[in-house]
Structure 1
């Protein structure tokens, strides 16, 4: 009885346990059906990925819908089929998902921005095609834009006032009272600096307050220079 080794599980199996993964695969049959099925399941569960390629190390052929259906279990294929439909619909420019989190339906609005009010055919939730949000009752899309622009600007102004970027990594940091000696909250950074002038606190600790920028209120001339 002739057996061969699967390049993934390394089991020696009968030749009939191996299969051609895609119609375009032209390599030796070196991966068993069980491992291909597990490969498909792993791609779906870990990445939500519907672009699945032949697991053979020497092959880059993408598995087609009929390949997945032929090899995967019924449960795995149903998940793949649903993800494929979802991603295909999401790419349609006129398609919008219902904004009711408990619904999961969606539909196409062929009139687009000319008729932005959409009503879900499944749950009757109203939502806006143009802004892709629950319907802004009592406001036209232009009025909604004006309010949203004002809110965004106010939020940005607040961020500019309440936060500052770390001089080293650029991540914005909030100061919740206390002294002006700051430490970046990013674990891979932990840069220490002055909240007022961004001076390096390693230098301040080593050389004293003269290491602050001259315009900083914490700057003090080195007494040895008097």
Structure 2
């Protein structure tokens, strides 16, 4: 009586080095173009790794590797949602490195633009929401004061505190208290116990 042999299921699957689940080989890809190690981290875990490292340098999570992801590595392996978020953050980082680029100071806007007028044309009008800001001081437009008058005002007040509040804080959309962002994601929660309003920093 003849017999047929079958390949054990375990030999047809690979165990993910991170989540310890077993998947078919199709769930594993080369992580970066520079990686030379075995492909034993599933694409779901790599996608989660990319998502958690968005605001830092993203390196291969394989123990002992650490090769840096290139843009095309992330585009190839990340889900559409994660890649679009990464692409947006990458663009924002590039823009922030351009001295002529300024973010709109309207807390509910989140847009930005290059201001070609420079110091000679200090009033910058947002193309998206039409809010005005001062290109020189990088704060909402000091209505009723020229830049020279605002500079004198700053010197009369605590200049560092004034600039910090203008540049680094945004008012809670519900109660208006100024809130500072200390890194992390853009999901914010108002610190006032009677408010606790949740909003997006951008």
Shorter-chain TM-score category? 0.5 to 0.7
Q: Give the drift of 1:2.
A: 3.6
Q: Give the drift of 1:138.
A: 2.8
Once the two structures are superposed, the pairs formed by residues 176-195 of structure 1 within 5 Å of their partners are none
Q: Give the drift of 1:112.
A: 1.6
**TM-score normalized by the length of structure 1:** 0.61
Of structures 1 and 2, the larger Rg is shown by 1
Tell me how far apart the structure 1 counterparts of residues 72 and 131 of structure 2 sit (CA, whole Å): 36
Partner of 2:88: 82
Structure 2 counterpart SS, 1:4 = strand
Q: CA RMSD in A?
A: 1.9
Matched, 1:18 2:17: no
**TM-score normalized by the length of structure 2:** 0.68
Partner of 1:39: 49
Matched, 1:6 2:12: no
Tell me how far apart the structure 2 counterparts of residues 111 and 59 of structure 1 sit (CA, whole Å): 47
Structure 2: 5+ residue stretches without partners: 1-10, 162-202
Q: Give the drift of 1:50.
A: 4.9
Aligned 8 A contact 1:118 1:129 in 2 = yes
Q: Which has the higher contact order (CA 8 A, sep 6+)?
A: 2
Partner of 1:145: 151
Q: Give the drift of 1:140.
A: 2.0
Once the two structures are superposed, the pairs formed by residues 48-59 of structure 1 within 5 Å of their partners are 49-59=55-65
Query: After TM superposition, where is structure 1 displaced by more than 4 Å over at least 4 residues in a row?
Result: none
Aligned 8 A contact 1:27 1:58 in 2 = no
Paired positions, count: 150
Partner of 2:176: none
Tell me how far apart the structure 1 counterparts of residues 144 and 23 of structure 2 sit (CA, whole Å): 68
Tell me how far apart the structure 1 counterparts of residues 127 and 22 of structure 2 sit (CA, whole Å): 54
